[in-house]
Structure 1
Amino acid sequence: MTEPLSRSRFAIGGMDCASCATKIDTAVRRLPGVNDARVSVAAGTLSVEHAPTADLAALQRQVVRLGYTIAPIAGRPSGPGAAAGQAHEHKHEHGAGCHGDHGHEHSHAHGDDHDHGHGDGGAHRHAETSAGTPAGLHGHDHGPMTGPWWRSPKAQLTIASGLALVAAYAVGLMLPQVQEWAFVVAMLVGLVPIARRALAAAFAGTPFSIEMLMTIAAIGAVIIGAGEEGAAVVFLFLVGELLEGVAASRARASIQSLTTLVPKSVRLEDPSGVTEVPAESVSPGQVIVVRPGDRIGADGVIVEGDSTINEAPVTGESTPVAKGPGASVFAGTINADAVLRVRVTAAAEDNTIARVVRLVEEAQETKAPTERFIDRFSRYYTPGVVAVALLIAIVPPLVLGGAWSDWIYKGLAILLIGCPCALVISTPAAIAAALSAGARRGLLMKGGAVLEDVGKITAIAMDKTGTLTAGAPVVTDIVGIDRTEREVLASAAALEAGSSHPLAIAILARAKADAVAVPQAEGAKAVPGKGLSGTVGGRSLFLGSPKAATERATLGSDAGAALSALIEAGKSVSVLLIDDAVAGFIAMRDEPRPDAVAGVAALKSAGVTPIMLTGDNARTAAAVGEMLGMEVRAELLPEDKQRIVRELQAKGETVGKVGDGINDAPALAAAHVGIAMGGGTDVALETADAAVLHGRVLDLAGMVRLSRDAMRNIHQNIAIALGLKAVFLVTTVLGVTGLWPAILADTGATVLVTANAMRLLAWKPR
């Protein structure tokens, strides 16, 4: 029997470009017991799938030899041989969420049919970086870029190399006879750590690393008497690496900065009173007190108090939301008006912000198709560059009688020009920035492959209830026949008082909004399959479906026409009878979200065809579809939705499916991209490929545009990386440029590509 695999995660310091990730990936995969490895430059993490008996201490030593720092990410140890403090988890599949049953105090027969569904994400573990590296393990010049950039080991090495270069120039001016040796010494200050990393990478399976190319070029420069240029090239290389590190740190911090939104402490209520405790110490079930103006320290449910909550830090929604007892609140949001007592529903490591950060980091460990292609290309590209440089160095002198020093110099310049840094970072930098920018605006995508696929969508199948609509009915019309509208509403609300049925909630909410006084009903009871009955002010009342009402009273022609018009509009109508005479109608419907019309229009303008797929009745669905201007397929079972998705794909469409991730699991699985629509912790993140946390229809078009903007950025980066190399390749062979411009071209291209990718961090939906 094959023993189960475990997964461990580590924080890597000093990993600032894709070539760094490639070296670590290659070295780790060669170790015994390692089944798979995923490295994220953006998150600064290494995730390893391995046998429980694998020697993780040897793995850490291998990474340190490459010049990086490594620390286990704390988690739940599991499996034999799990070292203390190391993060392990057995590999397993997550199931879909569950359905909740909703009880109703009264039975209704108001005649509407909704396709409700509630997704529930699976459980997530939290990763927290431990404070240090294992005993005896020390990184080299690739220390982590934390704190001010000038304090990092990389910056200190760069500064030392620069000072050595200046000192060599000074020595050369005073003692010209030792100038060449002074530059050799200056070069060695920066080259020794680079060469050490090059050798470690070579022994670990990456012989053609950027450090190896740099080492060969620098040593070659000394051999042909160009020590001054060799020292300058080493310094410029270190400057380029430092700039990469600063840019990578900025990208990494962009998503991690979300964690700073959660306060460090909360006011915990217990039998002895209210005390201030660390936020990470509270557990589900405990109650915290949140004062006006404070950030909420945990996900939870309000148990006492009414206030408006500013959710912009989490969802991006600019308008504060009014919330009271029973409403959910998220960690990091701001309580505006009144004191709230909140029952905690999630530990600190599983709150909304922690889940978002974790999902983005895990997504950044998954490579996009373009990134995988670039990785494969670079494996052949770099050896090819070495071969070309070697041919340029030896063929002209041997065949054409050229000067050896001139052509070796050109060959060394070609080596530097061919460094693949700018090329291999062109894709992951843009993807990491795009994933981070999307997450900060409530658009979650599970990896670069999903990011690419979203932009290719040409048709998008969408649920009605809870996706295009708010998911709960509201009162749209009140028609008085022989009573005023306020009297009709008051009488209906009297019968519905205390009910938790969605239609009852809608009627009571409308009465509250219109400030209608609700009288006390006597003897209120459910009439099975028909409606509700009771007495108010000595009069007999009945509220029920049109069919049940016509069994008790006769509708006049005007009343019948009004009722038919409401039903034709796809609304659920309740008829109110007072003393067995028609008093009026109350019509309700699950209305489109406020941004649904604009969202559907934005999808169309992006070249995406929206289609409504719903299990709701055809009349209601058609009415909503007409309001939104989109094609409708109604009264569908889950297998029908899957079949329609397959039909669209057969026509050549790239299909996205938007739903709750539970009722629509077959269609979500069949689509090219499954997108969960919801809010905060209720989103079905485990089922879908992507999620819109705000629940806004407009954000679907925003997600498509973010994907396309990211792919445009990637293509620009590739053009910059290859274009500059092509130009300097020609000028070097022609003798116009040499070693200095060559390294400037490589460093410049890397900086330009990184800076261009970082523009995506400021992305905003149009």
Structure 2
Amino acid sequence: MAEYKLQGLSCANCAREMEEEIQKLKNGEDARVLYNSSKLIVKDDISLSQVEKILANDGATIVKDKHEHDDHNHAHTHSHSNRMLKTLIIMSAVLYFIAIFVGQWSEGIAITIFIIAAALSGYQTFIQGIKNLFRLKFNIDTLMTIALIGAFGIGEWKEGTLVAILFGINEFLEGLGMEKARSSMEALLKVAPKQATLIANGKEQIVSIETLKAGDIVLVKPGEKIPSDGIVIEGKSSVNEAAITGESMPIEKSIDESVYGGSINNEGILKISITKSYEDSSLAKILHLVEEAQETKTPTEQFINHFAKYYTPAIILIAIIVMIAPPLLGGADWGKWFYQGLAVLIVGCPCALVLSSPIAIVSGITRNARNGILIKGGVFLEQLGKIDMIAFDKTGTLTKGEPFVEVTKVFDEQFLTIAGSVEKLSSHPLAKAVMRKVEETSAPLTEATDVETLPGQGISAIVNGERYFVGNEKGLPATALSSSIQKEITALKDQGYTLITVADNEKVLGLMGITDEVRSESKQIIKELHQAGIKHTVMLTGDHQQTAKKVADKVGLSNYYANLLPDEKVQKVKELTQKGKIAMVGDGINDAPALATADLGIAMGKGTDSAIETADIVLMQDHLGKLPSAVKISKRVNQIIKLNISLALGLKLIALLLTIPGWLTLWIAILSDMGATVLVTLISLTLMIETKNKG
């Protein structure tokens, strides 16, 4: 497939019509005209000259060669086009008022000036409209052309010219609104670095990031962007990862730590071993998916586009009826009702309706991307706004996924010293949790010898000439297990703790209750989700009942389900989908089946490949902190789209109702369309304003 940038693509409805025409060409069945990003995607073997002819018929042109990505030039072409239109509109408005003034002395000169003013602000529309008339293609250009010719034909020079000027303003505002949305998206895409300092054979050389491959060594100086994913092999610095994760606070990086392409090195000099070529890096995948996401059609957009196909022909039919029915059936004045019919034609413009969704969708996706939330398409953004239940995996999602000593029972002062002296010899995850606890207390350690591992039980070793056991209750010497100790063990297990015991042959020195530490932010996030309109929050976990209950109570979940195997999680998600729309949040690896089964899959994994590939939405952070924000934004987008549709149709309906008493005029008709376009654009751009202030 070949990809081209387009200039002059300022009408969402026109883009849809051009796409349909191109798809009728040989090898054009997969062609796409992407209004949101102003792009054309076609097969390599399609006749480009025929495509360009179709584009030219609607005032669009190809401005770049395929595969080039000069965002600055792309933005420039749009702004240049808008500046020219703005200048022509101002000139037309000035001439309009001059014509009114001159008309007091010379009607002929005034009419000439009116014609010039109308031509300046709408010549492209009217040239296109004439072409469409010969092709029997009825879109807004055709309707406006018929209306203007009709108005001039019955001597309505002043009103016809005003319609042309107002329509020009309408076109300008429509193009300006989408340009704002596009420029915000393009600014997001510019986070990608362009060059890198490659170290080869002991020499530094500046190279394009596209040439980097795994194993290359690059030098990143303070203030420079890291060119691709890699590992620090020399140096220490803080790194700003906001472009990837949305986190504003810098992250300290030192030797053997991973870094993301696109993040910014703050103060130190880093040598980095590249682990992925740029095209395979997290940033490249994010930018590619975000760019694709803005073009996926939501169910609402698909309905609007389908509706628009029938809306304009229906308006033409109504206009004809308005023109001929009153004079034929009621003997009304032909001139008056011909004028009314012309006004009805103008109401037939579906642009505001088609524009009701794209700007809001692009704004919502862009804002979430700035927050480190990757939404793979408008359809998923819309779906998130409809979710009323969220299911969470426990480990690594609501909890940190690391063993943590939460409770200690000390029966002998040597307890922590013995525990640390023995466990420092083990690499078991529980041993690491014990060591973190011992280090917190600064307990003195000593050398352990004659170490013996007891599979499934723990570890035994000699410390200060005496043998000690560290492990679970199964490995305790029978002589050390008194009834009081047994009660303590039972109580801790009932509370959902994993036990570590420390004992010699005669007594138990102490007990540790280990659990998976709940993330400090989890409780607040669950609260914010409920406030954002999520009715039910549930947890699905393979842990036993007591552990699940403890976590659920601690974070404030609505419900929980424990002892679930992976296939049972899938079954439980299916059951929950019968009760409402559900999103599943997991790590994108172990929970892949459940993520796929839910109405919406949300993965968290700080940019891991599996997370990006598995879910519909990816939280690029390693926590849930931005999830409530994503829910609020998606609900706001859905509200805006519904409001926009209501305004676009409502204003047109009011204008059409004015034909009943014969009050509809040309300028009221165009103002109803322009008013709808202005309101739809401004309301959608409120999301963009919030992006700049808060995103």
Match of 1:141 in 2: none
Match of 1:66 in 2: 58
What does 1:425-574 correspond to in 2, within 5 Å? Answer: 425-484=355-414, 486-488=416-418, 490-496=420-426, 499=427, 501-510=428-437, 526-534=453-461, 540=467, 542-548=469-475, 550-551=476-477, 554-574=480-500
- For 2:575, which of 623, 647, 672 is the aligned residue? 647
Once the 2 structures are TM-superposed, how far is the Cα of residue 463 of structure 1 from its aligned partner?
Answer: 1.0
Of 244-253 and 470-479, more deviation after overlay is shown by 470-479
Match of 2:340 in 1: 410
Partner SS for 1:317: coil
Q: Which amino acid aligns with 1:343?
A: S
What does 1:257-296 correspond to in 2, within 5 Å? Answer: 257-292=187-222, 294-296=224-226
- For 2:624, which of 697, 715, 722 is the aligned residue? 697
- Decide whether the 8 Å contact of 2:417 with 2:445 is kept in 1: no
Q: Which amino acid aligns with 1:431?
A: I
What does 1:191-206 correspond to in 2, within 5 Å? Answer: 191-198=122-129
- Partners of 1:288 and 1:581 lie apart in 2 by 58
CA RMSD of aligned residues (A): 3.4
- For 1:309, which of 239, 249, 261 is the aligned residue? 239
Q: Does residue 1:211 correspond to 2:141, yes or no?
A: yes
CA distance 1:460–1:717, change in 2 (3 Å): same
Once the 2 structures are TM-superposed, how far is the Cα of residue 754 of structure 1 from its aligned partner?
Answer: 0.9
Q: Does residue 1:638 correspond to 2:553, yes or no?
A: no
Match of 1:255 in 2: 185
Once the 2 structures are TM-superposed, how far is the Cα of residue 740 of structure 1 from its aligned partner?
Answer: 2.5
- For 1:9, which of 3, 21, 27 is the aligned residue? 3
- For 1:146, which of 50, 68, 75 is the aligned residue? 75
- Decide whether the 8 Å contact of 1:478 with 1:488 is kept in 2: no
Deviations 1:23-77 (A, max 9, x none): 22212221122333444322223444x5x744355334432443213367xxxxx
Q: Give structure 1 stretches of 5+ with no counterpart.
A: 1-6, 73-84, 88-127, 133-143
Deviations 1:665-691 (A, max 9, x none): 333332222222221234523222222
Q: Which amino acid aligns with 2:353?
A: L
What does 1:349-360 correspond to in 2, within 5 Å? Answer: 349-360=279-290
TM value normalised by structure 1: 0.81
Partner SS for 1:744: helix
Deviations 1:489-523 (A, max 9, x none): 53245223xx3x43344344555666667656556
Once the 2 structures are TM-superposed, how far is the Cα of residue 338 of structure 1 from its aligned partner?
Answer: 4.1
Match of 2:684 in 1: 757
Match of 1:596 in 2: 522
Q: Which amino acid aligns with 1:703?
A: A
Q: Which amino acid aligns with 1:746?
A: D
CA distance 1:678–1:573, change in 2 (3 Å): same
CA distance 1:622–1:171, change in 2 (3 Å): closer
- Decide whether the 8 Å contact of 1:482 with 1:584 is kept in 2: yes
Partner SS for 1:472: strand
Q: Which amino acid aligns with 2:349?
A: C
- Decide whether the 8 Å contact of 1:493 with 1:511 is kept in 2: no
CA distance 1:540–1:273, change in 2 (3 Å): farther
Deviations 1:83-128 (A, max 9, x none): xx756xxxxxxxxxxxxxxxxxxxxxxxxxxxxxxxxxxxxxxxx5
Q: Which amino acid aligns with 1:242?
A: F
- For 2:168, which of 209, 228, 238 is the aligned residue? 238
Once the 2 structures are TM-superposed, how far is the Cα of residue 251 of structure 1 from its aligned partner?
Answer: 0.8
CA distance 1:568–1:274, change in 2 (3 Å): farther
Larger relative contact order, structure 1 or 2 (CA cutoff 8 Å, min sep 6):
1
Q: Which amino acid aligns with 1:55?
A: S
Deviations 1:264-306 (A, max 9, x none): 4444333314455444443332233344555433322333445
Match of 1:181 in 2: 112
Partner SS for 1:220: helix
What does 1:44-193 correspond to in 2, within 5 Å? Answer: 44-48=38-42, 53-56=45-48, 58-70=50-62, 86=66, 129=69, 146-147=75-76, 152-164=80-92, 166-167=94-95, 170=98, 173=102, 176-193=107-124
Partner SS for 2:400: coil
- Partners of 1:670 and 1:56 lie apart in 2 by 42
CA distance 1:705–1:544, change in 2 (3 Å): same
- For 2:598, which of 667, 671, 678 is the aligned residue? 671
- Partners of 2:443 and 2:240 lie apart in 1 by 29
Once the 2 structures are TM-superposed, how far is the Cα of residue 129 of structure 1 from its aligned partner?
Answer: 2.6
Deviations 1:211-256 (A, max 9, x none): 1111111222221122333333223222221222221121112232
CA distance 1:648–1:207, change in 2 (3 Å): same
TM value normalised by structure 2: 0.88
- Partners of 1:738 and 1:333 lie apart in 2 by 57
Q: Which amino acid aligns with 2:62?
A: I
CA distance 1:478–1:339, change in 2 (3 Å): farther
- Partners of 2:270 and 2:509 lie apart in 1 by 42
- For 2:14, which of 13, 20, 25 is the aligned residue? 20
Match of 1:608 in 2: 535
Q: Which amino acid aligns with 1:146?
A: A
Partner SS for 2:635: helix
Match of 2:298 in 1: 368
- Partners of 2:129 and 2:430 lie apart in 1 by 70
- Provide the aligned length of Structure 1 versus Structure 2: 688
- Partners of 2:446 and 2:55 lie apart in 1 by 74
Deviations 1:355-376 (A, max 9, x none): 3332222222221111111112
- For 2:276, which of 343, 346, 353 is the aligned residue? 346
- Partners of 2:442 and 2:214 lie apart in 1 by 37
Q: Give structure 2 stretches of 5+ with no counterpart.
A: none
CA distance 1:643–1:582, change in 2 (3 Å): same
What does 1:22-41 correspond to in 2, within 5 Å? Answer: 22-41=16-35
CA distance 1:199–1:170, change in 2 (3 Å): closer
Once the 2 structures are TM-superposed, how far is the Cα of residue 466 of structure 1 from its aligned partner?
Answer: 1.8
Q: Does residue 1:742 correspond to 2:676, yes or no?
A: no
Q: Does residue 1:687 correspond to 2:627, yes or no?
A: no
